[in-house]
Chains A and B, each alone.
Chain A
Amino acid sequence: MDVLMLSRLQFAAATFFHFLFVPLTLGLSILIAIMETIYVRTGDEDYRRMAKFWGKIFLVNFAVGVVTGITLEFQFGTNWSRYSRYVGDIFGSLLAIEATLAFFLESTFLAVWAFGWNRLSPRLHCACIWLVAFASSLSALWIIIANAWMQHPVGFVLKNGRAEMHDFMAVVTQPFALQQFFHTVSGAYILAGFVVMGISAYHLLRRQNTVFFTKSFRLALGFALIFSVAEVVQGHIHGAEVAKIQPAKLAAMESLWDTQAGAPMWLLLIPDQERERNLVEFGRIPNALSMLAYHSPQAVVKGLKDFPAPDRPPVALTFISFRLMVGLGFLFVLLTVVGWFKRRHLESSPGYLKVMLYAMPLPYLALEAGWMVTEVGRQPWIVYGLMRTADAVSPIAASQVGVTLAGFILVYSLLGAVAFYLIAKFARQGPAPAVTHPGEVV
């Protein structure tokens, strides 16, 4: 394999692994903050125990998220030096702002929260976790502004052989970035809700700590329901935006080969990129694609054949990932709506609890699939329409990248196994017993 392919694999492995841990921290920090707020306001000890119990799981995730995040920031330089040189004026500044504004805040106050249970007043302690929650979503905002710029570069001029900042506000306030941000964090919030529901379901099915886990489940259910519904609506708006600014990606998401008015949508199909057609097509919904993408049943949708072959993204991967994400998105609405009607008698709904226990991996799948659409669908560009991925890679030896790729796979597999073991252990163990004397945890 050449240095390009190795570097792409390495970056993919590093980002996908990183994003197994980050989404939970985004959503769970908010849930923990809500729990602790309820504790501070009502004095209900259960909510303090909840904050501690879910906090344990949060901390393991956070640690892995942090250590795998650093390698990402440095990989732009190590593996994508031509990219870094070409767009660093814009992209680099966004990453630096993220660290300065958000990541300091998140790391510093998380440590205070974790070590400060007996040093801060309950109010101040609770404020720390709100700061963590705020900072982690703020961090996501800046990272996604940077990624959105790769999807839809704005506010720059080509000068001195590179892209230079021309209009900073255009870069940070572009609607596409905000759409992508809401789409990503909503997904992360859904994931956190499903993880809390899944682990709670595990204990409710065993009738352990039922009061504790019913409270946790209901809180997470409300949270996941709001964002599951919001995600479907917002996802549609986001998709229409993609149609406008990344037409090749849209065509790949739907595996549409011929430009046509009144384009249909197929529920399932198997794309054949080489012969520029679909092998199997099933479940035709007439005019649906035109309607969804452009809000008009007769709108013209550009097909893949209208893009030169070297400018087309890998169709099968983009299509399958997109279908998977959308299908799961609807499933989350269904599951949370069903849950809403069962919320008062969860313990007597073992079937539903079982489904929610096994549904835990699904939001992970949906989120990774979503990033697959975003990143694979952008190919062959690293910055859409501006720079090709092939032109972005560092001038280094393939052997070097081969060694580090093997290192990443080995280290991250071990890390993943250890993290999974710890999270499963804490989840199964359940919360610490209730307090016997005020302020003292047994």
Chain B
Amino acid sequence: MMLPTIWFVLWGVLWAVYFMLDGFDLGLGTLMPFLAKDDADRRVIYRAMGPFWDGNEVWLITAGGVTFAAFPTTYAVMFSGLYSALMLILFALILRGVSMAFRNEVDDPRWRRLWDKGLVLGSFLPALLFGVAFANLFKGIPIDAEGIFQGNLLTLLNPYGLAGGILFVLLFLLHGSLWLAVKTHGDLHRRAAHLAAKTWTWLLVMVVLFLLATKRWTTLFDNYAAQPVLLLIPVVAVAALVMVRAFIKRAKWWQAWFASCLTIVGITLFGVVGLFPDLLKSSLNPAYSLTAFNSSSSPLTLKIMLGVALTFVPLVIAYQVWVHFLFKDKVQPEDITPEEGY
């Protein structure tokens, strides 16, 4: 009982960390055309994500890999069930990655415009679709006794799924604009700061609506009713969001960004904890649901993986934090050289 529970928590944490980290890239990529006035601005925006986005994306690979390793049955049913949505995310992430890598490699405005479009599409779609996917996981999807998905892409685009999509997009937009505010000065910084403040209001409305919708359409709050102490998670998430506003007002950008990190992690974990022990809730019949217990790997594999995770994930965090220190300064004009970067 213990090992699957630990892995359930780790599973949720890995996804939350992925959203927290890649969230600012995906948000900033989506916002680029609204924030940049000229090519110099655009280069600054690319450079603000440049040293980080790939390392961030590995958290997705790890979250996917851990789903496979710790809960193979869930991995199998979830990924084949959400086939079209997932493939769309993957194609979008391909587009995002190569746009980042190729954009500044040819000195031609048409070439750059092409990849700029790729970046926007490749950032917006995953933000939206991850939200849609996770909201559907929170609500439950039509999985039958054989673990076969009885629906299609449109099944996922129900009102609650769409609410999740909009919520994620707004979370990432705020996160991305705060990141840019941290990383720039001058006009671009002011525009990012202004946009962050505006997005915050919309996000607050959306968070409230999403929590109400969650109460109405899902059973997530059952776990919280049984263990009221868990309510700390959504409370912290909302408190962190309120703090974001306070920090924006005082122009404390790093702190605002960290508070935004906490909001994203809190909202993701709010859903995951509400799901427990379900990983993949069946909306047809609760008996068909895949849980941390009926879909997990053998105790031996869970033990080995726990050893690997406890040894190496702290190491990964350590060197990724070091990278953030190394590139902690605001982006300077001399950073924007064709000699550096991908």
Give B contacts to A, CB under 8 Å: 50-52, 54-55, 57-58, 60-62, 64-70, 72-73, 75-80, 83-84, 86-87, 90-91, 93-94, 97-98, 100-102, 105-106, 146-149, 297-298, 300-301, 304-305, 308-309, 312-313, 316, 319-320, 323, 326-327, 339-342
Q: For A173, what are the chain B residues with a Cβ–Cβ distance below 8 Å?
A: none
Q: Please state if B83 and A63 are interface contacts (CB–CB under 8 Å).
A: no
Q: For B68, what are the chain A residues with a Cβ–Cβ distance below 8 Å?
A: 73, 76-77, 84, 88, 91-93, 95-96
Interface centre among B62, B87, B149, B340 (most CB of A within 10 A): B87
Given A81-B79, A89-B298, A111-B55, does the pair A70, B61 have CB atoms closer than 8 Å?
yes
Assembled-state Cα–Cα distance A164/B340 (Å): 47
Q: Please state if B55 and A92 are interface contacts (CB–CB under 8 Å).
A: no
Q: Please state if A168 and B300 are interface contacts (CB–CB under 8 Å).
A: yes
Q: For B101, what are the chain A residues with a Cβ–Cβ distance below 8 Å?
A: 59-60, 63
Q: For B78, what are the chain A residues with a Cβ–Cβ distance below 8 Å?
A: 77
Shortest CB-to-CB span from A46 to chain B, Å, is 17
Say if the beta carbon of A267 comes within 8 Å of chain B.
no
Q: For A109, what are the chain B residues with a Cβ–Cβ distance below 8 Å?
A: 319
Provide a sorted-by-A list of 23 A–B residue pairs whose CB atoms are within 8 angstroms: A60-B102, A63-B97, A63-B102, A73-B61, A76-B68, A81-B147, A88-B69, A88-B297, A92-B297, A96-B65, A96-B308, A99-B58, A100-B308, A114-B51, A116-B51, A116-B326, A164-B298, A166-B300, A396-B83, A404-B84, A404-B87, A415-B98, A441-B339
Interface SS, B side: helix
Q: Please state if B300 and A108 are interface contacts (CB–CB under 8 Å).
A: no
Assembled-state Cα–Cα distance A250/B227 (Å): 61
Interface size on A, residues (CB 8 A): 73
Q: For A404, what are the chain B residues with a Cβ–Cβ distance below 8 Å?
A: 83-84, 87
Q: Please state if A67 and B93 are interface contacts (CB–CB under 8 Å).
A: yes
Assembled-state Cα–Cα distance A407/B64 (Å): 22
The 3 closest A-B pairs by CB, nearest first: A88-B72, A77-B79, A92-B68
Q: Please state if A100 and B298 are interface contacts (CB–CB under 8 Å).
A: no
Q: For B100, what are the chain A residues with a Cβ–Cβ distance below 8 Å?
A: 63
Q: Please state if B312 and A115 are interface contacts (CB–CB under 8 Å).
A: no
Residues of chain A from 200 to 233 with CB closer than 8 A to chain B in the complex: none
Q: For A165, what are the chain B residues with a Cβ–Cβ distance below 8 Å?
A: 297-298, 300-301, 304
Residue of B nearest to A157 (CB): B298
Say if the beta carbon of A425 comes within 8 Å of chain B.
yes
Shortest CB-to-CB span from A386 to chain B, Å, is 15
Assembled-state Cα–Cα distance A71/B64 (Å): 11
Q: For A418, what are the chain B residues with a Cβ–Cβ distance below 8 Å?
A: 98, 102
Q: For A63, what are the chain B residues with a Cβ–Cβ distance below 8 Å?
A: 97-98, 100-102, 342
Q: Please state if B91 and A411 are interface contacts (CB–CB under 8 Å).
A: yes
Assembled-state Cα–Cα distance A98/B91 (Å): 22
Shortest CB-to-CB span from B178 to chain A, Å, is 21
Q: Please state if B90 and A103 are interface contacts (CB–CB under 8 Å).
A: no
Q: For A82, what are the chain B residues with a Cβ–Cβ distance below 8 Å?
A: 76
Say if the beta carbon of A68 comes within 8 Å of chain B.
yes
Q: For A91, what are the chain B residues with a Cβ–Cβ distance below 8 Å?
A: 68
Shortest CB-to-CB span from B70 to chain A, Å, is 8
Shortest CB-to-CB span from A83 to chain B, Å, is 8
Q: Please state if B97 and A66 are interface contacts (CB–CB under 8 Å).
A: yes
Given contacts A85-B73, A403-B84, 14 further A-B contacts (CB under 8 A): A63-B100, A70-B57, A74-B90, A84-B68, A84-B79, A96-B69, A96-B305, A97-B69, A101-B308, A101-B312, A108-B55, A165-B298, A407-B87, A422-B106
Shortest CB-to-CB span from B241 to chain A, Å, is 29
Interface centre among A84, A114, A407 (most CB of B within 10 A): A84
Shortest CB-to-CB span from B6 to chain A, Å, is 15
Assembled-state Cα–Cα distance A361/B33 (Å): 40
Residue of B nearest to A108 (CB): B55
Say if the beta carbon of A41 comes within 8 Å of chain B.
no
Shortest CB-to-CB span from B101 to chain A, Å, is 3
Q: For B64, what are the chain A residues with a Cβ–Cβ distance below 8 Å?
A: 70, 73-74, 77
Which single member of B97, B146, B312, B327 contacts A100 (CB below 8 Å)? B312
Q: Please state if B84 and A117 are interface contacts (CB–CB under 8 Å).
A: no
Interface centre among B60, B72, B298, B319 (most CB of A within 10 A): B72
Assembled-state Cα–Cα distance A159/B320 (Å): 39
Shortest CB-to-CB span from A184 to chain B, Å, is 20
Given A78-B83, A89-B297, A407-B91, does the pair A96, B62 have CB atoms closer than 8 Å?
yes
Say if the beta carbon of A268 comes within 8 Å of chain B.
no
Residue of A nearest to B82 (CB): A78
Assembled-state Cα–Cα distance A64/B68 (Å): 24
Q: Please state if A100 and B86 are interface contacts (CB–CB under 8 Å).
A: no
Q: For B54, what are the chain A residues with a Cβ–Cβ distance below 8 Å?
A: 66, 107-108, 110-111
Assembled-state Cα–Cα distance A344/B150 (Å): 68
Residue of A nearest to B319 (CB): A108
Q: Please state if B342 and A59 are interface contacts (CB–CB under 8 Å).
A: yes
Say if the beta carbon of A351 comes within 8 Å of chain B.
no
Say if the beta carbon of A79 comes within 8 Å of chain B.
yes
Q: Please state if B342 and A119 are interface contacts (CB–CB under 8 Å).
A: no
Say if the beta carbon of A90 comes within 8 Å of chain B.
yes
Which single member of A52, A77, A104, A116 contacts B58 (CB below 8 Å)? A104
Assembled-state Cα–Cα distance A104/B34 (Å): 32
Q: Please state if A103 and B83 are interface contacts (CB–CB under 8 Å).
A: no
Assembled-state Cα–Cα distance A92/B301 (Å): 10
Residues of chain A from 168 to 182 with CB closer than 8 A to chain B in the complex: 168
Residues of chain A from 43 to 59 with CB closer than 8 A to chain B in the complex: 52, 59
Shortest CB-to-CB span from B151 to chain A, Å, is 11
Assembled-state Cα–Cα distance A408/B73 (Å): 26
